[in-house]
Amino acid sequence: MASNTVLIRGLDRDLYNKVVARSKEQGKNVAHLMNEAMQEYVKRLDGEKHEASNEKKIAISGSVAISKADLVGIHGEVGKFILENSGDLTLEDDIDREALQCLSGIRNTGRLKVPRDIHHLTLLKAGHIHGEIEKY
């Protein structure tokens, strides 16, 4: 390993001080802890890329209504999947917690219509909402 000094602008000073304190507690130097942290970060990113390439996606760009039976049926065929919407997607009023368990997530850039009583559950499953959500 090279022993060159690396300057990092914009480093959070409080966070850095916590790392310094932990390194002293553990009898390690700061560089060792920083290297471990960066290795774990890169491993996690590599793992997320691998998982993302294996994700099953259902893409919707038109106007579609999906029921609990639809979600459960698709799940039975392909396993957990991501629902991508760039059109008008309506989750019918029979959608419940069990049906939402079939999804890995919802990525919405279109219009997502959800029943009032499950709105909070839908938001928990929706990782990326850039479009509109309408309660009915």
Structure confidence by residue, pLDDT tens digits, 4-54: 788 888 888 998 999 899 889 888 888 888 888 888 888 777 766 655 656
pLDDT for the residue 73: 94
pLDDT for the residue 21: 92
Task: Give yes or no for residue 121 having a pLDDT over 60.
Answer: no
Rounded Cα distance between 17 and 125, Å, is: 36
In whole angstroms, what separates CA 2 from the centre of its chain? 36
Which of the two residues, 65 and 42, has the higher pLDDT score? 65
Rounded Cα distance between 23 and 110, Å, is: 47
DSSP 84: E
Summarize pLDDT for 67-100 with one digit per residue, the tens: 999 999 999 999 988 888 888 889 999 988 788 8
CA-nearest of 66, 118, 64 to 88 is 64
Which residues, listed in sequence order, are joined to residue 106 by a DSSP beta bridge?
83, 126
Q: In the structure, what pLDDT confidence band is assigned to residue 128 with cuts at 50, 70 and 90?
A: low
